[in-house]
Copies of this chain bind each other. A is one copy, B any other.
Amino acid sequence: MNALSDKTVGRLSLYRRLLNGLVADGVTHVYSHQLAVLAGGTAAQVRRDMMAVGYTGSPKRGYDIRELAQSIGAFMDAPEGQGVALIGVGNLGRAILAYFAGRRPHLAIQAAFDADPYKANRVIHGCHCYPMTEMDTIAAKANIRTAIIAVPATEAQAVAAKLVRAGVRGILNFAPIRLHLPAEVYVEDIDMTMSLEKVAYFSRKGRAEKEVNS
């Protein structure tokens, strides 16, 4: 299989969820141009992405939705499942636990960590919380390579460095700070406050300003 860009992997994630939605609605087949409308892309791009996972539909009936979702899963998911660690069990961390609880069997938050000992040794939304001091041991034992950072901005860099030393190679970072890490570590940032403040600003000032570069 070919190496893929992060945009392609993002689209595959989206396609799979759209396909699962169609299955839930009782649909069995879909054409590339229909999937393209749902995903906000072009039919040619959908077909290229599907070729990348090694699936080709029938020109007459379109893609078999169940087969296609399985092909994407075989491509994206670790066959043995993949554990994720969450660092920071404050307001945001608990919200993240609630959101992902039971959502992805192949990609579950296996352990949460917090520097505050009062937050440790509890089970929150089905996830066991440990003190930060146990992070290295538990991450190594469970072979955890993926982590979510939900600590305050001032602690995020130190936490990220500690995660990388413990073997983590991919980080979803909710802290509003740019992490400085070795090039082989993949980082994706989500800043919910920034996103809401942008939306609020442009909903007052008007969308046209989006196009103006200052």
Contact = CB atoms under 8 A, between A and B. Distances in A.
Contact of A101 (B91, B185, B212): B91
A21 B153 contact: yes
A43 to B, nearest CB: 14
Contacts of A172: 195-196, 199
A46 to B, nearest CB: 13
Interface residues of A, number: 80
A209 B207 CA distance: 35
B212 A3 contact: yes
Interface string A173-214: 000111000011111101111111111111111111111111
Nearest to A1: B205
Contacts of A76: 197, 201
Interface of A: 2-6, 8-10, 13-14, 17-18, 21, 25, 38-40, 48, 52, 76, 78, 82, 84, 91-92, 94-96, 98-101, 103-104, 107, 145-146, 148, 152-154, 168-172, 176-178, 183-188, 190-214
8 contacts: A9-B201, A9-B202, A17-B176, A48-B214, A145-B204, A146-B203, A170-B201, A188-B199
